Chains A and B, each alone.
Chain A
Amino acid sequence: MRIRVDPDKCTGHARCYGLAPELFDVDDYGLSSVVGGGAVPVELEDKARLAIANCPEYAIEELPD
Chain B
Amino acid sequence: MANTTPVEHWDTDFDIMNPAYVADPFSIWDELRKTCPVAHTDRRGSTWLPTRYQDVVDLAHDVEHFSSAEITVIPFEGEVPEDPVLPYGVPPISADPPLHTWTRRLLLPWFSHRRVASYEATTRELCIKLVDGFIYSGTADAAGDYAQQIPVRVIAGILGVPAELSDTFTGWVRDVLEFADDPELRLRGMEGLITFFIEEVGRRKTQPGEDLLSYLLHSEVDGLPVEESVVLGVAALVLIAGVDTTWSAIGSSLWHLATHPEDRDRLIAEPDAMPLAIEELLRAYSPVTMARLVTEDVVFEGCPMRAGDKVLMNFPGANRDPEAFEDADRVILDRALNRHVAFGSGIHRCAGSNLARMELKVALEEWLRRIPTFRLAEGDEVTWAGGQVRGPRHVPVVFP
- A residues with CB within 8 A of B: 11-15, 17-19, 26-30, 50, 53-58
Q: In the A-B complex, list the 7 residue pairs whose CB atoms are closest, starting with the nearest.
A: A28-B109, A11-B349, A28-B112, A56-B339, A29-B108, A53-B337, A56-B341
Number of residues from B at the complex interface, CB < 8 A: 24
Query: For A53, what are the chain B residues with a Cβ–Cβ distance below 8 Å?
Result: 336-337, 339
How distant is the Cα of A30 from the Cα of B353 in the complex, in angstroms?
Answer: 10
How distant is the Cα of A55 from the Cα of B345 in the complex, in angstroms?
Answer: 11
Task: Give 14 A-B pairs besides A12-B108, A19-B275, A56-B345 with Cβ atoms closer than 8 angstroms.
Answer: A14-B113, A14-B353, A18-B275, A18-B279, A18-B357, A26-B112, A28-B115, A50-B336, A54-B337, A54-B339, A55-B339, A56-B57, A56-B341, A58-B339
The answer to whether A26 and B109 have CB atoms under 8 Å apart is no
Query: For B113, what are the chain A residues with a Cβ–Cβ distance below 8 Å?
Result: 14, 17, 26
Main secondary structure on B side of the interface with A = helix
Main secondary structure on A side of the interface with B = loop
The answer to whether A13 and B337 have CB atoms under 8 Å apart is no
Query: For B108, what are the chain A residues with a Cβ–Cβ distance below 8 Å?
Result: 12, 28-30
In whole Å, how far is A59's beta carbon from the nearest beta carbon of chain B?
11
Residue of B nearest to A56 (CB): B339
In whole Å, how far is B103's beta carbon from the nearest beta carbon of chain A?
13
Query: For B27, what are the chain A residues with a Cβ–Cβ distance below 8 Å?
Result: none
How distant is the Cα of A15 from the Cα of B343 in the complex, in angstroms?
Answer: 11
How distant is the Cα of A26 from the Cα of B112 in the complex, in angstroms?
Answer: 8
In chain B, positions 340-354 with a C-beta closer than 8 Å to chain A are: 340-341, 343, 345-347, 349, 353-354
In whole Å, how far is A15's beta carbon from the nearest beta carbon of chain B?
7
In whole Å, how far is A14's beta carbon from the nearest beta carbon of chain B?
6
Query: For A17, what are the chain B residues with a Cβ–Cβ distance below 8 Å?
Result: 113
Residue of A nearest to B115 (CB): A28
The answer to whether B105 and A11 have CB atoms under 8 Å apart is no
Residue of A nearest to B349 (CB): A11
How distant is the Cα of A15 from the Cα of B340 in the complex, in angstroms?
Answer: 10
24 A–B pairs (Cβ distance < 8 Å), ordered by A: A11-B345, A11-B346, A12-B349, A13-B349, A14-B113, A14-B353, A18-B275, A18-B357, A19-B275, A26-B112, A26-B113, A27-B112, A28-B115, A29-B108, A29-B112, A30-B112, A30-B349, A53-B339, A54-B336, A54-B339, A56-B340, A56-B345, A57-B345, A58-B339
In whole Å, how far is B357's beta carbon from the nearest beta carbon of chain A?
8
The answer to whether A29 and B105 have CB atoms under 8 Å apart is yes
Most buried by B among A15, A26, A50: A15
The answer to whether A13 and B109 have CB atoms under 8 Å apart is no
Does B114 sit at the interface, judged by CB under 8 A? yes
Most buried by B among A12, A18, A26, A28: A12
How distant is the Cα of A58 from the Cα of B346 in the complex, in angstroms?
Answer: 11
Q: Which of B109, B339, B347 contacts A29 (CB 8 A)?
A: B109
How distant is the Cα of A12 from the Cα of B346 in the complex, in angstroms?
Answer: 9
In whole Å, how far is B117's beta carbon from the nearest beta carbon of chain A?
12
In whole Å, how far is A53's beta carbon from the nearest beta carbon of chain B?
5
